[in-house]
A and B are shown apart, each in its own frame.
Chain A
Amino acid sequence: MIDYNKVLSPAIMGMKPSGIRKFFDIAQQLEGVISLGVGEPDFKTPYVVRREAINVLEKGRTSYTANAGLAELREEIAKYFHKRIGVDYDPKDEIIVTVGGSEGIDLCLRSVVTQGDEVLIVQPSFVCYSPIVTLCGGVPVPIETKAENEFRLTAAELRGKITDRTKLLVLPFPNNPTGAIMRKEDLEAIAEVLRDTNILVLSDEIYSELTYSGKHVSIASLPDMRERTIVINGFSKAYAMTGWRLGIAAAPRELISQMLKLHQYAIMSSPTVSQFAAITALRQCDDDIVKMRDEYDMRRRYLVDAFNKLGLDCFTPQGAFYVFPCIRSTGLSSSDFCEKLVYSKKVAVVPGNAFGDCGEGFVRVSYAYSLSHLREAIKRIGEFLEELKNGTVQ
């Protein structure tokens, strides 16, 4: 019999599965669970985009594209960046159309991180950065953001973690799971710390279109920052296109040319039908973005108010589609809170520590759900808190 322990890579075997797996399994086996646990829009992809994909299929345009993506799409992406963040990328050799934002992150990390490099990772944050850094032989160094700073990264926190081995800063804003954003002045302070170093920035801006007060600002738009920044964005959240698997990596050509080699060998080219459809999204769907954002905004206001009224402190997030209430007042750990809640009231939320140790004491609540769904969930959470107080939790 083959001994798989001997054939598999120790690095892969040592990789921890995502921290929400356990709750997923519990929630899955219960009947009638209402979830606030997903990280994708509840909206459908705008109809014109779906229609375009059907047209493309009918015409049989199903071959590979250029490795970096359709030239026409890259041109639209360049225009998009110019318009939205005021940064110019050459569509010829500074943009890759990736398989989701995730692939862009992977390409970036694998292209720059080598043995012993320290990678600063703002936490709480999306779960994929640390495992990939570790796989590259790098050392993930969490920078813990704090509720009292509205989960923004401060210059002091950053400075405190920089060593002569620091290679890269992962800057994920608007943030999943906290909903925090970095305002221009916050980014200026970060840029000031990095300006005279050799440290790169991986700016994961996948939620950039979901910014509720003012305009999203990219660190790449600040003086001297374009040259050291890899911008990751994509179609999943802005255009409700998660399943199309289409993301964007943009950076100076010296970086993109290296990342493109990896993309070429691992992926060849991103899904062709999705790429054609994405051109339509960029050209025709600005209004859809606004509509979806307005809808999220109302739900966001509703949830922040509802959690604060229930006695779970919840700062007002300015981005993404999550709220991140503090559950310490219940005396429970994040995991216990989530487990008890799902068993007794069949409401699934994600424990904050799934996004880094400093997420302990919080839970992530997604508002990519209809208002009536959210209201029902809040009602159940209210009952749960009441029963916790009375010691009658089932």
Chain B
Amino acid sequence: MEKLLKLLKNNARLSNAELAVMLGKSEADVAADIEKLEKEGIITGYTAIVDEAVYDPNSVTALIELKVTPQSQSGYDDIAKAIAAYEQVESVRLMSGAYDILVSVTGTNIREVSRFVAENLAAIDAVQSTATHFLLRSYKVNGISVTANEKDERGLMFP
């Protein structure tokens, strides 16, 4: 399973036939393994890794730290879910440490993201404070290096 997951994390578009060859298993076994991983909620989806900076050079991503007053019944859950419901929000995570919730947001420009933080996040009653960090450059995303193709410094041929 570990090897299968590793292959899929690197390239989820490999066909079951290709995976089967590489893992030395039958195609049916691979299909069953994948189904099991999906059923158990280990694989929760398949997605394209988009370099937003190439797709839209003006777009910005921000990580926003929120200090939140937990609610009497639901703790952080209801607030986190409310934040997660916004379309521009890419991830919402409850954290240990100096703040409580970490939100990542992508917008078409800095002003749009700033307005979202001020009007939608900071305005929530339970939110005590926010700290917004704009992302400057990504080097590795989801375990995959995304810096411009590192050059293969090896010679073309060597015995």
Is B140 close to A, CB under 8 A? no
B135 within 8 A of A: no
B21 within 8 Å of A (CB atoms): yes
- The residues in B between 14 and 37 inclusive whose CB is less than 8 angstroms from any CB of A are 18, 21-24
Q: Would you give the 0/1 interface string for A7-48, flagging 1 where the beta carbon is closer than 8 Å to chain B?
A: 000000000001010011001100001010111101000000
Q: Find the B residue at minimum CB distance from A23.
A: B157
Of A143-151, A264-272, A273-281, A294-302, the segment with at least 4 beta carbons within 8 Å of chain B is A294-302
The residue from A24, A126, A298 contacting B155, defined by CB atoms under 8 A apart: A24
Which of A40, A299, A355 is the one whose CB lies under 8 Å from B154?
A: A40
B151 at the interface (CB under 8 A from A): no
A contact residues around B155 at 8 Å (CB) = 24, 38
**Contact between chains at B159 and A127 (CB < 8 Å):** yes
| Chain A residues with CB under 8 A of B22 | 298-299, 301-302
Instruction: From B7, B23, B157, give the contact of A35 (CB < 8 A).
Output: B157
Indicate if B156 sits at the interface (CB-CB under 8 A): yes
B71 within 8 A of A: no
Contact with B along A330-353 (1 / 0, CB 8 A): 000000000000000000101000
**Chain B interfacial residues counted at CB < 8 A:** 16
Inter-chain contact B156/A38, CB cutoff 8 Å: yes
Could you tell me if B23 and A301 are in contact, using CB atoms closer than 8 angstroms?
yes
Q: State in angstroms the CA–CA spacing of A355 and B155 once bound together.
A: 18
User: B7 — which chain A residues lie within 8 A by C-beta?
Assistant: 298
Contact B21 A350 (CB under 8 A): no
Also in contact, A38 and B154, with CB within 8 A (given A294-B3, A298-B3)? yes
By a CB distance below 8 angstroms, the chain B residues around A301 are 21-24
Contacts of B46 in A (CB 8 A): none
Partner of A305 from the list B11, B21, B157, B159 (CB cut-off 8 Å) is B21
Nearest B-chain residue to A212, judged by Cβ: B24
Asked if B156 and A42 make an inter-chain contact with CB atoms under 8 angstroms apart, the answer reads no
Whole-angstrom CA separation of A27 from B154 in the bound complex: 13
Contact assessment for B157 and A350 in the assembled complex, using a CB-CB cutoff below 8 Å: yes
Interface pair A37/B11, CB less than 8 Å apart: no
At the interface, yes or no: B91 with Cβ under 8 Å from chain A? no
Residues from chain B with Cβ under 8 Å of A33 in the complex: 156
Q: Is the CB of A37 within 8 A of B10?
A: no
Question: Could you list 21 A-B pairs, sorted by A, with CB under 8 Å?
Answer: A18-B159, A24-B155, A24-B156, A24-B157, A37-B157, A38-B154, A38-B155, A38-B158, A40-B154, A42-B154, A127-B159, A298-B7, A301-B21, A301-B22, A301-B23, A302-B21, A305-B21, A348-B156, A348-B157, A354-B159, A355-B159
Sort A-B residue pairs by CB-CB distance and give the 7 closest, nearest first: A37-B157, A298-B22, A305-B21, A35-B156, A24-B157, A27-B156, A127-B159
